[in-house]
Amino acid sequence: MTALPVAACPTEAELEFDRQVDALAMTGLPEHLELAEGCFRASLEPLRDLLPPIDSTGSGRGLGFVVVVPYLPVLPVLESVHTVGGAGFTTMTDDDLAGFRPLPELDIPTGPYLLLDVDPGADTLNVPPVEVLPRMTAAGRSPLTIAEGLAVLVSDPGVLRGRNCFSLLGSRAGDKRVPALWISARRPRLGWCYQGAPHTWLGSASCAGRLGEPPLV
């Protein structure tokens, strides 16, 4: 008899990837992007071959990778995230949200990509964002955009803590405002703070890089 091939067990990184894709699909993102769910999942599948190994020692900064869909609809995705206090929300107007764009030097991929080694910024608490950015870039790290911050929130709604919320320095509107995610009335909130204002409960999130398919040039 011919032995049947043994199916390979998924790696820890693959299981985490599947979990994050499921979480993104549950936000209603396929519908908002006018894609069938199967097509949406297929568009993310090439990222599976790019997955970094997960640090099982617990020595990493935070999330090893996060699946990101760029230019996602902010409000529906935010409202799909629920914590003990209820759904995510913002008091920002549509015009405000539309005014925040990724910094051009970040070279954000046009298709789905992986955000690598995400750090919510516990070591930057109470440091004004304007002071954090040069330190961040000098260390070879990159600030997160609004879309990336939402992807982090979808992947782990518990990432926001009362005393460790985070600014998203990668999205700016050409003024002194910096968007941020924090907890308000026990709910996730997207708002903004001034770049020179320190807050004891607010750090600045960063990542080690972005990895898309095909490889970025």
- Residue 53 inside a domain? The answer is no
Q: Could you tell me the residue range of the domain that residue 120 belongs to?
A: 63-212
Round the CA-based radius of gyration of the chain to a whole number and report it.
Answer: 18
82 found inside a domain: yes
Cα(211)–Cα(202) distance, integer angstroms: 27
Q: What is the pLDDT of residue 9?
A: 85
C-alpha separations of 22 from 26, 153, 161, 205, 212 in Å: 6, 14, 23, 24, 19
34 falls within a domain = no
For residue 2, the model assigns a pLDDT of 62
Residue 5 banded pLDDT, cuts 50, 70, 90? low
In contact, 180 and 100? CB cutoff 8 Å: no
Helix (H) or strand (E) holding 87: strand 86-87
Q: What does the pLDDT read at residue 191?
A: 97
pLDDT at 13: 94
User: In the predicted model, is pLDDT for residue 152 greater than 90?
Assistant: yes
**Is 15 inside any structural domain?**
no
Task: Using the structure block, give the residue that is written with the tokens 């599947």.
Answer: 18
pLDDT in the model for residue 160 = 86
Taken in order 147, 153, 154, 155, the sign of the CA dihedral is positive
Q: How many domains does the chain have?
A: 1
What mean pLDDT comes out for the span 11-36?
95
For range 170-189, the mean pLDDT: 96
Q: Which amino acid is it at 186?
A: R
Tell whether the model's pLDDT for residue 169 goes beyond 60. Answer: yes
Structural domain contains residue 40: no
- Mean of the pLDDT values across residues 195-208? 96
**For position 216, what pLDDT does the model report?**
41
Mean pLDDT, residues 79-106: 94
- pLDDT at position 59 is 40
Please state, in angstroms and rounded to a whole number, the distance separating the CA atoms of residues 201 and 139.
22
Name residues whose C-beta falls within 8 Å of residue 159's C-beta, 6 or more positions apart in sequence.
62, 63, 120, 152, 153
pTM exceeds cut of 0.75: yes
